[in-house]
Amino acid sequence: MKVKLTSRDIARMVDLSVVQCDDDETRVRALAARAREIRPCVATTLSSWIPLIKELLADVDDVGIGGNVAFPSGACLLQTKIAETKHLVAVGCDEIDMVVDIGKLLSGRYDYCLDDIKGVVDAAAGLPVKVIIECHYLSDDQIRTAAELCVSGGASFVKTGTGWTSTGATLENISLIKSVVGDAVGIKASGGIRDLDTLVEMHRRGARRFGLGLGRENVILDQADALPGGVVEFDSEAPGS
């Protein structure tokens, strides 16, 4: 089956972010301004900036606000994650991206990680929760296990990473996660998505949400607009899938 996407369709699959530690108020305001222009699915920033981004986009009803829990290590106590999640819900976030405790995951503390995910999912009170497993640090077997934990914990999406590591989402990781989760949960690719061809190939392999840092969207959307009719067309599945 063929998929046809315009730049508008692509923007609606993007979580546009300002989540680096040195992102200041100017960047947050720039995020809001760009969100008004392209209408991403979600505009997301770090917790202390949520009230501001919420205020700046108060009259834009088709852009969700994304809250980030336990960035970037996931290594705070579950009680802290629950409190942060509840606060983000209370101030009006529409989705939650949480970082699972990467150190515990690497230590094989899978029961702990499952409780970690379930605790945030429960605290989110029905909002979609995307669980960041930070593939950069994980072996293939650990990625499989982490994806299974996301399904068992009630997550809405498995997310490849925070964007804080030197390795972003890879085609191989998207395929690997898809082989585990099937259609049980969504997949969000985050980090390292620099051009339209990469985004399209990740879509073919199963990703349906794409985390792009503010400014990274420009090339991708411009490339889509430059195509004949402003439409990118491709097979819905990668060869051999």
Q: What is the CATH number of the domain that holds 57?
A: 3.20.20.70
> How many domains are contained in the chain?
1
Check residue 238 and give its pLDDT: 63
Residues in contact with 5: Cβ distance below 8 Å, sequence separation at least 6, in sequence order: 224, 231, 232, 233
Using CA atoms of 31, 37, 40, 41 in order, give the dihedral in degrees to the nearest 10.
100
Q: Is 69 inside any structural domain?
A: yes
- On the question of a cis peptide bond just before residue 72, with omega within 30 degrees of 0, the verdict is yes
67 within 8 A of 88, measured Cβ to Cβ:
yes
Strand partners, 3: 234
Check residue 236 and give its pLDDT: 85
Using CA atoms of 152, 88, 46, 177 in order, give the dihedral in degrees to the nearest 10.
10
Question: Exposed (0-12), middle (13-18) or buried (19+): which is 166, by Cβ within 10 Å?
Answer: exposed
- For 104, other C-beta atoms within 10 Å of its C-beta total 17
Check residue 237 and give its pLDDT: 76
- Compute the Cα dihedral for 45, 175, 185, 219 and give only its sign: positive
Range of the domain at 36: 2-235
Check residue 86 and give its pLDDT: 98
Distance CA(241)–CA(239), nearest Å, equals 6
Question: Exposed (0-12), middle (13-18) or buried (19+): which is 36, by Cβ within 10 Å?
Answer: middle
Distance CA(129)–CA(105), nearest Å, equals 18
Distance CA(88)–CA(102), nearest Å, equals 22
Q: Is 66 inside any structural domain?
A: yes
Residues with catalytic annotation?
97, 159, 188
Q: Is 241 inside any structural domain?
A: no
Q: Is 47 inside any structural domain?
A: yes
Q: Is 240 inside any structural domain?
A: no
Q: Is 159 inside any structural domain?
A: yes
Written as one string, the DSSP assignment of 42-56 is EEEE-GGGHHHHHHH
- The model's pTM: 0.95
Q: Are strands 231-235 and 2-6 parallel, antiparallel or unpaired?
A: antiparallel
Per-residue pLDDT of the chain (241 residues), as tens digits, is: 899 999 999 999 999 999 999 999 999 999 999 999 999 999 999 999 999 999 999 999 999 999 999 999 999 999 999 999 999 999 999 999 999 999 999 999 999 999 999 999 999 999 999 999 999 999 999 999 999 999 999 999 999 999 899 888 999 999 999 999 999 999 999 999 999 999 999 999 999 999 999 999 999 999 999 999 999 999 987 655 5
Check residue 43 and give its pLDDT: 98
